[in-house]
Structure 1
Amino acid sequence: MINLCLDFGNSRLKGAIMQNGKMQEQLLFREQHLEAELLAVLDKYQPTGAILSSVVHHTPAVEQLLAGRTRFVKLGHQLRFPVSIAYDKPETLGVDRIALVCGAWRRFPGQYSLVIGVGSAITYNFLHKNGEFLGGGISPGLEMRFKALHTFTDKLPEVGKDPQFSLIGYNTRQSILSGVQQGVLEEVDGMINRYAERYRNFNVLLTGGIWFSLVPVLKVRYLQTLSYYMKV
């Protein structure tokens, strides 16, 4: 059975072709050509089912197309999940965060898991070992931090992410790179440690395309957590 999984985030519109539970191909879509590219995917792979996780606005035609060609499911808080949601207002919870903790539960059922998603925003999502999604935190992602420095000052330039940077910036650009990128690493490190103060053993799952652009400069402990398990 072939299924189409779609994840529309603020940074990228992406998807995957799944066959019998295994990913066969990754997909990227352009916003201005979304409907045409989606139609081409449906024609090529003829998926039986499709699921959409979206945190952005898209035209109704996208869902109409999926519903007309597949058994279509739109991810939302009202669906039944393998985890329960202990969130004040579930309708305000990003569906991408729900998908992350469901994935963590499938891989590590009955265990504590902290899922860190690094995209336009950085989300921290903590799953209790009893299967309850407790919530977590949200902070600005790399690009937001770069843009904020440029937007809310008169003279600071807008800088893009770069894995090559030093702790001590020798010019304005390098200083911004150090402040933003090292700042993100220190934030993640600190958040992991704060959870470690409360929970002795838990999994740390890191995800998000922007995060992996920094892999060359990650500390050894982060490279270890990429194996999906961390003991504290």
Structure 2
Amino acid sequence: MVLLIDVGNSNMVIGVLKEGKNIAEWRLSTDTKKTSDEYGVHLLQLFSYNNLSTEEVEGVIISSVVPYLMHTLENVIRKYFKVKPLIVGPGIKTGINVKYDNPKELGADRIVNAVAAHELYKKPVIVIDFGTATTFCAITASGDYLGGAICPGIKISARALFEQTAKLPDIRIEKQEKVICKNTVSNIQSGIYFGYVGQVEYIVNKMKEEMKKYDNEEAYVVATGGLARLITNDSEVIDELHPFLTLEGLKIIYEKNKE
């Protein structure tokens, strides 16, 4: 078995791969205050609940945008799984060509998503990852990572509105039936939700225009991340929802580097 771990700012997505198939997928809250033993206990409980044995884990791959957790997670893997983890970073084989001004600046999560998109679709792709931040990534059919855009995530936007105003309440993000609403809570929900849908569609359409000089085929748009489903239902530019795209990318990168 292979353990796949993607560490985001808010959530940690974990998958277990056996004979090329995902047999378990979990989400944990990212917490830099937890010790390696606390994370170890969580993982042991998840393995036990799913009738999986840690002794069968022969490899582990980790991508992370939270540097403070890397030492903790490496200790977890060495102590509880008895293997040396593979870390997504400089020098690792990915199969894509990063065209960033400084490739070292590119987050591991975006690299992993790009690898998955390129290998799965074999066409120009735009990946939108709805997480703590919302990231847009453009990948050509030949596997060139062109770059992208980063926006504040939906929850960050809503939280900032609450924290920076005197009277507006903290709200749960929900879709309203109409844009014009008649109370403060639904007004905020309407503005956040439909504003975000509009933002996504504008950015994607602009990216498609810019990508035309690289490929004759229009870019395919894939959404992933914890909040992807919320926006996908109303967006006309998103072609596919793939909630565990990052785990697919980790699986592909592991296979390219396991030797």
Superposition TM-score, scaled by structure 2 size: 0.78
Q: What secondary structure sits across from 1:201 in the alignment? A: coil
Following superposition, the deviation at residue 131 of structure 1 comes to: 1.2
Query: Among the aligned pairs, what percent are the same residue?
Result: 26
C-alpha separation between the residues in 2 aligned to 1:174 and 1:29?
30
Higher strand share: 1
Per-residue deviation, residues 164-222 of structure 1 (Å, max 9, x unmatched): 4531121111111111111111111111211232325111111011121345x524x35
Following superposition, the deviation at residue 78 of structure 1 comes to: 2.9
Query: Conserved in 2, the CA contact under 8 Å of 1:114 and 1:202?
Result: yes
The answer to whether structure 1 residue 206 and structure 2 residue 223 are counterparts is yes
Query: Conserved in 1, the CA contact under 8 Å of 2:60 and 2:85?
Result: yes
Query: Conserved in 2, the CA contact under 8 Å of 1:9 and 1:55?
Result: yes
Q: CA RMSD in A?
A: 2.1
C-alpha separation between the residues in 1 aligned to 2:16 and 2:174?
31
C-alpha separation between the residues in 2 aligned to 1:214 and 1:86?
29
Per-residue deviation, residues 110-160 of structure 1 (Å, max 9, x unmatched): x21100100111100001222111110000111000011111222211112
Query: Conserved in 1, the CA contact under 8 Å of 2:133 and 2:152?
Result: yes
Q: What secondary structure sits across from 1:166 in the alignment? A: coil
Moved more, 64-73 or 181-190: 64-73
Aligned match for 2:138, one of 126, 130, 151 = 126
Structure 2 counterpart of 1:96, which letter? D
C-alpha separation between the residues in 2 aligned to 1:213 and 1:3?
30
Following superposition, the deviation at residue 11 of structure 1 comes to: 2.0
Q: What secondary structure sits across from 1:58 in the alignment? A: helix
Aligned match for 1:166, one of 174, 178, 198 = 178
The answer to whether structure 1 residue 185 and structure 2 residue 197 are counterparts is yes
Structure 2 counterpart of 1:206, which letter? A
Moved more, 116-125 or 72-81: 72-81
Moved more, 33-42 or 71-80: 33-42
Q: What secondary structure sits across from 1:213 in the alignment? A: helix
Distance 1:194 1:61, change over 3 A: closer
Structure 1 counterpart of 2:40, which letter? E
Structure 1 counterpart of 2:143, which letter? G
C-alpha separation between the residues in 2 aligned to 1:65 and 1:197?
45
Following superposition, the deviation at residue 60 of structure 1 comes to: 2.0
The answer to whether structure 1 residue 51 and structure 2 residue 61 are counterparts is yes
Q: What secondary structure sits across from 2:193 in the alignment? A: helix
Aligned length: 223
What corresponds to 1:63 in structure 2?
A: 74
Query: Conserved in 2, the CA contact under 8 Å of 1:162 and 1:177?
Result: yes
Superposition TM-score, scaled by structure 1 size: 0.87
C-alpha separation between the residues in 2 aligned to 1:25 and 1:190?
36
The answer to whether structure 1 residue 26 and structure 2 residue 25 are counterparts is yes
What corresponds to 1:218 in structure 2?
A: 234
Following superposition, the deviation at residue 65 of structure 1 comes to: 2.7
What corresponds to 1:10 in structure 2?
A: 9
Q: What secondary structure sits across from 1:174 in the alignment? A: helix
Q: Which has the higher contact order (CA 8 A, sep 6+)?
A: 2
Q: What secondary structure sits across from 1:204 in the alignment? A: strand
Unmatched runs of 5 consecutive residues or more in structure 2:
243-259
